[in-house]
């Protein structure tokens, strides 16, 4: 399979699907430029080869209608500053006008197309719309991991019009490599730390991951379903009674597969789901009625530390406590610190999926782990073992 480095973009127009779905403030300033910076390397490669870049993305959820507030024109200035080139803007992403500006692009120039999702055809994966997009470029680069799990026109369908002339950008390639490191090629022992609120939202990941890891830490709100299933008292902690048989099945499967499961032994319990609640540390299976476990306890963190420090490959998905409240963020911060230490000792650590990235950013761990995934849903689906359509369209 060809990578972006196998292409020379001299005098070529690269149609690049980027993820510029960035947050804007009330004055339409970009408040977090991470995604634009993440796309920079691929764009620069095209320009340095002597090609031109046509950038396409969605912004927000305009649901197939023009919406001034969601125009990508608002971010043109920021993209220009980050790329270091004055970026041109096309007020439409398909049709004669877009084709004309694209055709007129000179080597070294960059064009940003208007929000793809102003057209319903984008999310429907409409073939005709994808074909119109394909007319704009000679080579297709997909560098948008955040939408790689969607079979949309610009992320998947368009690739069929670029036979032999399509590849992943650097960002998407890095994401794929990071997932492979954890799921296939990682140095042992491989550890997955799964936290978050509910077993039900993580079940497919747990089932898939049991074949890949040596150790599995289960933390956060999921803990209590496992503890109650084994006969423990969880008080008022979040618990999915209907998932208790599943929890027992997971424990059985783990044993059969030789995966060591690590579950909290003590918790910081609170008498209310509130930052100002009264708290006490109690055994995880003896939480009194009226109390709920909202963070990992000290013995638990000692146990988790030992596993994290001896692991060589670490995946972290989901906080081990209600990290949004500072009374219950200590466990999640401790996990981040242990992963930091393990990474410094040579482990490969990947954080991704759902809310995990928010927690990691909030506590400043993003530069301490080996890789922070840029795609919440796409990473979750990868961890569930699904082949993402955006990736399959390039490989196939």
Indicate which residues carry an active-site annotation: 35, 198, 354, 377
- 195-214 residues in contact with ligand AMP (CB under 6 A) are 195-197, 201
What six digits make up the tokens of 13? Answer: 């127009």
Q: Which is nearer to ligand AMP, 9 or 323 (CB)?
A: 323
Q: Facing residues of 283 across strands?
A: 266
Cβ proximity of 212 and 182 under 8 Å: yes
Site string for ligand AMP, 156-195 (x = CB under 6 A): ---------------------------------------x
- 271-310 residues in contact with ligand AMP (CB under 6 A) are 293-294
How near is the Cβ of 194 to ligand AMP at its closest, in Å? 8
Q: How many whole angstroms separate alpha carbon 359 and alpha carbon 353?
A: 11
Site string for ligand AMP, 355-394 (x = CB under 6 A): x---------------------------------------
Q: Residue 322, interface with ligand AMP (CB under 6 A)?
A: yes
Q: Which of 138, 107, 139, 144 is nearest to 122 (CA)?
A: 144
Four-residue CA torsion sign, 313, 315, 320, 323: positive
Q: Which is nearer to ligand AMP, 172 or 182 (CB)?
A: 182
Token pair 């390397």 is found at 41
Local structure of 82: helix, strand or coil: helix
Q: Which of 102, 107, 105, 108 is nearest to 85 (CA)?
A: 108
Cβ proximity of 349 and 316 under 8 Å: yes
Phi–psi pair at 89, nearest 5 degrees: -125, 135
Q: How many whole angstroms separate alpha carbon 107 and alpha carbon 105?
A: 7
How near is the Cβ of 295 to ligand AMP at its closest, in Å? 7
Number of residues that bind ligand AMP (CB under 6 A): 17
Site string for ligand AMP, 328-357 (x = CB under 6 A): --------------------------xx--
Q: Which of 136, 177, 174, 129 is nearest to 154 (CA)?
A: 129
User: Could you tell me which stretch among 42-50, 138-146, 169-177, 321-329 binds ligand AMP (CB under 6 A)?
Assistant: 321-329
Q: Which is nearer to ligand AMP, 36 or 238 (CB)?
A: 238
- 214-273 residues in contact with ligand AMP (CB under 6 A) are 220-221, 238
Residue 320 DSSP one-character state: S
Binds ligand AMP by CB under 6 A, chosen from 169, 232, 297, 319: 319
Interface with ligand AMP (CB under 6 A): 195-197, 201, 220-221, 238, 293-294, 318-319, 321-324, 354-355
């Amino acid at each position: 399979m060809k990578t972006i480095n196998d292409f020379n973009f001299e005098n070529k127009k690269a149609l690049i699907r980027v993820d510029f779905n960035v947050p804007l403030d009330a004055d339409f300033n970009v408040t977090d430029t991470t995604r634009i910076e993440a796309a920079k390397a691929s764009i620069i490669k095209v320009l340095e080869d002597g090609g031109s870049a046509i950038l396409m993305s969605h912004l927000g959820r305009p649901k197939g209608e023009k919406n001034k507030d969601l125009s990508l024109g608002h971010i043109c200035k920021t993209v220009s500053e980050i790329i270091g080139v004055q970026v041109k803007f096309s007020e439409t992403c398909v049709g004669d006008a877009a084709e004309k500006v694209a055709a007129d692009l000179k080597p070294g120039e960059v064009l940003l197309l208007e929000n793809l999702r102003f057209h319903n055809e984008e999310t429907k994966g409409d073939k005709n719309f994808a074909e119109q997009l394909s007319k704009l470029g000679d080579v297709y680069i997909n560098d948008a991991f955040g939408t790689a799990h969607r079979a949309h026109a610009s992320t998947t369908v368009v690739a069929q019009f670029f036979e032999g002339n399509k590849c992943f950008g650097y960002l998407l390639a890095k994401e794929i490599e990071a997932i492979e490191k954890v799921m296939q090629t990682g140095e042992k022992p491989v550890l997955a730390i799964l936290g978050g609120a509910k077993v039900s939202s993580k079940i497919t990941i747990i089932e898939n991951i049991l074949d890949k890891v040596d150790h599995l830490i289960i933390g956060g709100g999921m803990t209590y379903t496992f503890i109650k299933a084994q006969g423990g008292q969880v008080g008022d902690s979040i618990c999915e009674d209907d998932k208790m048989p599943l929890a027992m099945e997971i424990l059985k499967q783990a044993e059969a597969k030789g995966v060591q499961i690590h579950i909290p032994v003590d918790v910081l319990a609170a008498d209310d789901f509130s930052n100002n609640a009264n708290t006490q540390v109690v055994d995880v299976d003896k939480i009194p009625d009226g109390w709920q476990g909202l963070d990992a306890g000290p013995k638990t963190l000692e146990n988790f530390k030992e596993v994290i420090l001896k692991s060589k490959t670490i995946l972290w998905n989901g906080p081990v406590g209600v990290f949004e409240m500072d009374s219950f963020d200590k466990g999640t911060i401790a996990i981040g610190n242990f992963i930091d230490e393990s990474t410094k000792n040579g482990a490969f650590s990947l954080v991704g999926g759902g809310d995990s990235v928010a927690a990691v950013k909030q506590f400043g761990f993003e530069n301490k782990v080996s890789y922070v995934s840029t795609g919440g849903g796409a990473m979750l689906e990868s961890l569930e073992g699904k082949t993402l359509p955006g990736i399959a369209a390039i490989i196939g």
